[in-house]
Amino acid sequence: MPPTTQDKRKTAPRAGSRGRAVPELIFGDLWEYDPAPETADPKLKARYDLFIGGEFTAPKAGAYFDTINPATEQKLADVALAGQADVDAAYRAAQRAFDTTWGRMPGRERAKYLYRVARLLQDRAREFAVAETLNGGKPIKESRDFDVPMAAAHFFYHAGWADKLDYVAPGRKIAPLGVVGQVIPWNFPLLMLAWKLAPALAMGNCVVIKPAETTPITALKLAEIFQQAGLPPGVVNIVTGAGETGAAVMAHPTPVKVAFTGSTEVGKVIMRSLAGTDKKMTMELGGKAANIIFDDAPLDQAVEGVVNGIFFNQGHVCCAGSRLLVHEPVADRVLAKLKNRVRVLRVGDPMDKNTDLGAINSRQQLEKIGELVDSGVKEGAEIFQPPCRLPAKGFFFRPTLFSGVTQSHRIAREEIFGPVLSILTFRTVDEAVEKANNTAYGLSAGVWTDKGSRILKLSTELKAGVIWANTFNKFDPASPFGGYKESGFGREGGRQGLLDYAKLT
Ligand code: ADP
């Protein structure tokens, strides 16, 4: 007979902690599930060309690169490497589309295309979810339940605005900017694409966009949907490649606006390259969000939110709650609960529907996470990793908790972009605010407390673009998202996001 959960509990009390001691759960093999692999066909092509002027087009220099599955390290497809001549062609197509069709089309007509894209994406949702997971490494339950539905939601939401643009800035005359250039990262390949394209298109702009080099597939699959939807040629042009292609997209003379999501380091390089031009810019850069738990918070709910905030998508989230600030009276209890929760996280095959943490997106990212975790140990923080088995191939990292972290530790200051939580403690509200704001970033924060007045106080004092209260990582296309300080500027989503793609007179 298998042991019961009760048999497997240790009940050593923890000193200095308010409330009952938290029993340590040692689940062992109790939670071994049978595999539940997703089987839908992602309908991948062996080779993906550039999407320029409504057609899949071979790159002028004939160069291709491999795109792989980070969970197996196996090649998925050849992807075109766009050079300067291809980027020039993409911008020519975008300018032509803006001048001849899209820029002149009434908003109510543009809306029809956006609705069509949203519906087609819903029709092919499972196929897209599988492609996203294969190329990016995130668990299928995330791409299926979050990324793809949210991407469709962005097209639906902005389709709804396209014929109501006069209400975006009442009393002003609103018009599209023209052609815009966009570069996106690998953590939400399809969602970032939708997030960037939908407002730009709804406003009447035409786009050249570059997905990240490790995750180009769903962007090119979305190009198939643009063809299916009959989107006029050149309204969206997709060029693939690495940093050099990205630099060519950002520095090109044609776009009147560029929008970038990625690292603060690359964001700064782009801003330097555009200094002195009159291009509009939106930058969504790094983050080091604090999740703050007060002693009156519902602790189980808070622990679940913290786990979701940092282990969701392997911590590959710029607004990840990578620092936990916990009120001293409940610090031991929260740590014990977190350890119990982390012990039962399932790490492994992203295509398994039970998997909580999938693959890290690339070897380079895996090495970066490893290096920062080593620094945490060297600098004296206490590490906890559950003893889960990792797959022999592919890029995987155990969920990691660090307690006893101080503000000077690198793991408290630098963006890790992996499943690593740094835990600090505080005694007073002011100390919590000061520690939460003691970072170069300002993208998001979370507050867990029973007191509404405290939530209101913190939401004005925390220097972050998004503040979640008694929840974390909640998104909605109607809600503007963006940062302060080194997390960037400009907002995406909602009326504010549309304004960033509009000319007002
Ligand atoms: P991350 O650390 O999230 O990978 P990066 O900033 O390195 O973020 O990459 C985000 C996107 O920026 C990717 O599409 C990448 O190819 C692109 N990129 C990298 N270097 C440059 C650059 N110098 N100019 C423009 N885009 C770049």
What is the residue-wise DSSP string for 314-343?
GG--TT---EEEEEGGGHHHHHHHHHHHHH
What is the residue-wise DSSP string for 449-470?
-S-HHHHHHHHHHS--SEEEES
Where does the pLDDT of residue 384 fall: very low under 50, low under 70, confident under 90, or very high at 90 and above?
A: very high
Where does the pLDDT of residue 19 fall: very low under 50, low under 70, confident under 90, or very high at 90 and above?
A: low
Angle at 119 between CA 118 and CA 125, to 5 degrees: 90
Could you confirm whether 318 is annotated as catalytic?
Answer: yes
In a domain, 259, yes or no: yes
Where does the pLDDT of residue 345 fall: very low under 50, low under 70, confident under 90, or very high at 90 and above?
A: very high
Task: Note the pLDDT of residue 1.
Answer: 35
Question: Distance between CA 309 and CA 320 in Å, rounded?
Answer: 5
Task: Note the pLDDT of residue 318.
Answer: 85
**Nearest protein CA to atom 11 of ligand 1, as residue:** 185
Residue 246 and residue 135 share a domain: yes
In a domain, 143, yes or no: yes
Residue 255 and residue 132 share a domain: yes
Tell me, using a 6 A CB cutoff, whether residue 270 lines ligand 1: yes
What is the residue-wise DSSP string for 91-158?
HHHHHHHIIIIITTS-HHHHHHHHHHHHHHHHHTHHHHHHHHHHHH---HHHIIIIIHHHHHHHHHHH
3-state SS class at 478? coil
Altogether, the residues listed in the chain come to a count of 505
Tell me, using a 6 A CB cutoff, whether residue 269 lines ligand 1: yes
| CATH of residue 444 | 3.40.309.10
Question: Distance between CA 66 and CA 249 in Å, rounded?
Answer: 21
Smallest Cα–Cα separation from 241: which of 42, 57, 59? 59
| Token code pair at residue 17 | 């902690």
Number of domains in the chain: 2
In a domain, 165, yes or no: yes
Tell me, using a 6 A CB cutoff, whether residue 368 lines ligand 1: no
Smallest Cα–Cα separation from 421: which of 308, 298, 328? 308
| Beta strand ranges found along 272-381 (DSSP E) | 280-284, 290-293, 323-327
**Catalytic residue (one of 213, 318, 414, 486):** 318
Task: Note the pLDDT of residue 31.
Answer: 61
Of all atoms in ligand 1, which is nearest to the CA of residue 241?
16
Tens digits of residue pLDDT in 20-66: 678 776 655 556 778 899 999 999 999 999 999 999 999 999 999 99
Task: Note the pLDDT of residue 388.
Answer: 85
Q: How far is CA 276 from CA 5, 188, 271, 422, 451, in A?
A: 65, 31, 10, 40, 48
Name the DSSP class of 3. P
In a domain, 57, yes or no: yes
Q: Is the pLDDT of residue 8 over 80?
A: no
3-state SS class at 162? helix
Tell me, using a 6 A CB cutoff, whether residue 250 lines ligand 1: yes
Which amino acid is located at 211 in the chain?
Answer: P
Tell me, using a 6 A CB cutoff, whether residue 390 lines ligand 1: no
Tens digits of residue pLDDT in 411-441: 999 999 999 999 999 999 999 999 999 999 9
Residue with token string 């703050």: 292
Sign, Cα dihedral of 488, 416, 190, 52: positive
Tens digits of residue pLDDT in 261-279: 999 999 999 999 999 999 9
In a domain, 409, yes or no: yes
Task: Note the pLDDT of residue 305.
Answer: 96
Residue 225 and residue 148 share a domain: yes
Question: Distance between CA 324 and CA 69 in Å, rounded?
Answer: 32
Where does the pLDDT of residue 18 fall: very low under 50, low under 70, confident under 90, or very high at 90 and above?
A: low
Tens digits of residue pLDDT in 242-258: 999 999 999 999 999 99
Task: Note the pLDDT of residue 34.
Answer: 85
Helix, strand, coil percent values for the chain (each to nearest 5): 40, 20, 40
Of all atoms in ligand 1, which is nearest to the CA of residue 183?
14
Contact between 239 and 65 under an 8 Å Cβ cutoff? The reply is no
In a domain, 8, yes or no: no
Residue 246 and residue 341 share a domain: no
In a domain, 22, yes or no: no
Residue 365 and residue 294 share a domain: yes
Q: Is the pLDDT of residue 97 over 80?
A: yes
What is the average pLDDT score of the chain?
Answer: 93
Residue 296 and residue 203 share a domain: no
Tell me, using a 6 A CB cutoff, whether residue 65 lines ligand 1: no
Sign, Cα dihedral of 165, 169, 170, 174: negative
Question: Distance between CA 478 and CA 493 in Å, rounded?
Answer: 6
Residue 82 and residue 55 share a domain: yes
Residue 414 and residue 398 share a domain: yes
**Catalytic residue (one of 127, 213, 284, 415):** 284
For residue 453, what are the domain limits?
A: 288-469
The residues near 305 (Cβ < 8 Å, ≥ 6 apart) are 291, 321, 446, 448, 470, 471, 472
Residue 292 and residue 275 share a domain: no
| CATH of residue 187 | 3.40.605.10
Question: Distance between CA 325 and CA 404 in Å, rounded?
Answer: 11
Residue 281 and residue 296 share a domain: no
The residues near 174 (Cβ < 8 Å, ≥ 6 apart) are 165, 166, 168, 203, 502, 503, 504
In a domain, 263, yes or no: yes
Residue 417 and residue 379 share a domain: yes
Q: Could you tell me the pTM of the whole model?
A: 0.93
**Nearest protein CA to atom 24 of ligand 1, as residue:** 247
Angle at 259 between CA 220 and CA 172, to 5 degrees: 120
Q: Is the pLDDT of residue 15 over 70?
A: no
Q: Residue 475 region, left (φ>0) first, then alpha (ψ -120 to 50), else beta?
A: beta
> For helices 331-343 and 299-311, what crossing angle results, to 10°?
50
Task: Note the pLDDT of residue 25.
Answer: 66
Residue 493 and residue 355 share a domain: no
Task: Note the pLDDT of residue 30.
Answer: 55
Number of neighbours of residue 225 by Cβ within 10 angstroms: 19
Could you confirm whether 328 is annotated as catalytic?
Answer: no
Contact between 481 and 475 under an 8 Å Cβ cutoff? The reply is yes
Output the CA 197–ligand 1 centroid distance in Å: 18
Tell me, using a 6 A CB cutoff, whether residue 183 lines ligand 1: yes
Quick one: CA torsion of 270, 64, 315, 393, rounded to 10 degrees? -150
